[in-house]
Structure 1
Amino acid sequence: MKKFLVILFATLLALPASLATAAPLLVAAASDLAYCIDELAAAFRKETPGAEVKVSTGASGNFFAQIRNGAPFHVFLSADMMYPTQLAKAGAADGATLRPYAVGRIVLWTTDSRFDVNQGLALLRDPRVTRIAIGNPDTAPYGRAAKAVLVRDKLWEAVQPRLVIGENIAQAAQFVQTGNAQLGIVSLATVRSPKMAGVGRYYLISDTGVPPIEQGAIVTAVGMKEPLAGRFVRFLGSPAARAILERQGFGLPAVSND
């Protein structure tokens, strides 16, 4: 009997500790999600009582490098499909969980009243435009998209000396907002966010002739041991998540049947 009570006491002590130290779901999210990722996380918690989600936002390319080198993120929400696909090929993520969750759009944005963005990218030929912000084309998918439309419209060579390069799309937008750049090519989601709504003016840039900004979610190799990781990725295809993304200015991929 004494032995039984000792075992029971030890078990009761262990249970609260194990519940209290349950690890949060760690999500690495592209910076274009900065204004809606908290709402997505809250909606996920509502559907998954007891779940704790901790989010870091930044350039997709930087997260790619970190995860490939063992950073302990469970889920990666990239601003493209290339980075998560490469992680899967390298064995740093579970390729079976890869799915598109949103389609980004880019805009020409300014807070400077002297410039009429309705001219579109042709406005960048105006000699008064001396500072143009974009994300880093080497690490930020929205930076690559900005470069693609500038190349398409034969403007890339002309604007390079005037470019102000942000580490990610959020920093590029910050350059415009603070006046450190007169114009910027940023995400539609950024300028339609509650924080930026009504600030400045923007022009939706045509995506004709350039690759779509299809954004992908994947469970990392570390996340394969965390049941909530796959559940969070699948949640992004739910009506609740899609409604949030669409409201924030993202396009939506076809509905998945999984």
Structure 2
Amino acid sequence: MIARRTFFRVASGGLAFALGAGPGRVQPGGPTVAAASDLSAALPEIAAQFRRRTGQNVRLTFGSSGNFTQQILNGAPYEVFLSADEAYVETLRQAGRGEGPGVLYAIGRIGLFSPKGSPVQVDGALAGLGRALRAEQVSKVAIANPEHAPYGRAAREALQAAGLWDDLQGKLVLGENVSQATQFAVAGGAQAGLIPLSLALTAPVKAAGTFALIPEDRHKPLRQRATLLTGAGATARAFYSFLQGVDARAIFTRYGFTVPGGR
């Protein structure tokens, strides 16, 4: 049976341990943007740049893409949605809650993180994790919940490709979203975690352990799509356009995302 825990609250400032009170914090006010948790380091920087360029604010809320989709279908008053799985954007379009097909803004990557002191040696093939499992040195591995978090599904697929999924039953600890899974791995409560490259590149995560990218062919592509939601106002539309511009693309790239050339 998979253990399920909630480790900390994700607020509009993003990953608490990664962002603190620096210039990436977004001021209150403006339309609310629902964003996948793998963006909780990159998107506050983009929103701050948007504020500097335009004088307009947006409010950022981070969580799992699947949960946001259900909230939006139930009438949650978000105006922009940045999903970690483009299928959710299509679901909203078909339900009349999203405006058109949206835009593919990034392709994400996932990898294996091991905190300092862990017996797990990181590598893209997950061979080190397998050795530690066979040596009975692993009691917990953190991933996002695959039921509603796209990065959790990618983690499950990578573990299945490595032949480790069955061996990890009873040892998996699920974060409500990938930020929570990352926090648990960084805090040392798990011997390893499968986390996004975008969060692994933040200074606190780098300082806490080691990370290795998992090859892209070990899981389905993490194609991340954004959409305007029905009833979006002028500021939300301006931010949606800004997400597709040079400034935002540069920030996405710096956090390890592949930025597509088109829709």
The alignment's TM-score, normalised by the length of structure 1, stands at 0.84
Q: CA RMSD in A?
A: 1.6
Distance apart, 1:222 and its partner CA? 3.0
Percentage of identical aligned residues:
41
SS at match of 2:170: helix
Distance apart, 1:120 and its partner CA? 3.8
The 8 Å contact of residues 86 and 223 in structure 2, kept in 1 or not, is answered as yes
Alignment-derived partner of residue 191 in structure 2: 182
Which protein has the bigger helix share? 1
Q: Does 1:40 align with 2:46?
A: yes
The 8 Å contact of residues 73 and 222 in structure 1, kept in 2 or not, is answered as no
Q: Does 1:237 align with 2:244?
A: yes
Distance apart, 1:119 and its partner CA? 7.0
Q: 1:55 aligns with which of 49, 57, 60?
A: 60
Q: Does 1:82 align with 2:87?
A: yes
Structure 2 portions without partners, runs of 5+? 1-28
Q: Does 1:27 align with 2:33?
A: yes
Count of residues in correspondence between the two structures: 230
Q: Provide the C-alpha distance between the structure 2 equivalents of 1:67 and 1:174, rounded to a whole number of angstroms.
A: 26
For the pair shown, which has the larger CA radius of gyration, 1 or 2? 1
Alignment-derived partner of residue 5 in structure 2: none
Distance apart, 1:186 and its partner CA? 0.3
Q: Provide the C-alpha distance between the structure 2 equivalents of 1:200 and 1:149, rounded to a whole number of angstroms.
A: 20
Q: Provide the C-alpha distance between the structure 2 equivalents of 1:112 and 1:230, rounded to a whole number of angstroms.
A: 43
The 8 Å contact of residues 191 and 199 in structure 1, kept in 2 or not, is answered as no
Structure 1 stretches of at least 4 aligned residues deviating more than 4 Å after TM superposition: none
Alignment-derived partner of residue 8 in structure 1: none
Structure 1 portions without partners, runs of 5+? 1-22
Amino acid at match of 2:82: L
Alignment-derived partner of residue 202 in structure 2: 193
Amino acid at match of 1:80: D
Q: Provide the C-alpha distance between the structure 1 equivalents of 2:218 and 2:209, rounded to a whole number of angstroms.
A: 27
Distance apart, 1:78 and its partner CA? 0.8
The 8 Å contact of residues 108 and 120 in structure 1, kept in 2 or not, is answered as no
Distance apart, 1:118 and its partner CA? 3.1
- Report the CA distance shift for 1:119/1:85 in structure 2 as closer, same or farther (over 3 A): closer
Q: Does 1:134 align with 2:143?
A: yes
Q: Provide the C-alpha distance between the structure 1 equivalents of 2:124 and 2:147, rounded to a whole number of angstroms.
A: 28
- Report the CA distance shift for 1:146/1:209 in structure 2 as closer, same or farther (over 3 A): closer
SS at match of 2:225: strand
The 8 Å contact of residues 34 and 60 in structure 2, kept in 1 or not, is answered as yes
Q: 2:220 aligns with which of 208, 211, 224?
A: 211
Q: 2:112 aligns with which of 93, 108, 112?
A: 108
Q: Provide the C-alpha distance between the structure 1 equivalents of 2:218 and 2:109, rounded to a whole number of angstroms.
A: 14
Distance apart, 1:122 and its partner CA? 1.9
The 8 Å contact of residues 112 and 182 in structure 1, kept in 2 or not, is answered as no
Alignment-derived partner of residue 176 in structure 2: 167
- Report the CA distance shift for 1:208/1:119 in structure 2 as closer, same or farther (over 3 A): closer
The alignment's TM-score, normalised by the length of structure 2, stands at 0.83
Q: Provide the C-alpha distance between the structure 1 equivalents of 2:184 and 2:212, rounded to a whole number of angstroms.
A: 17
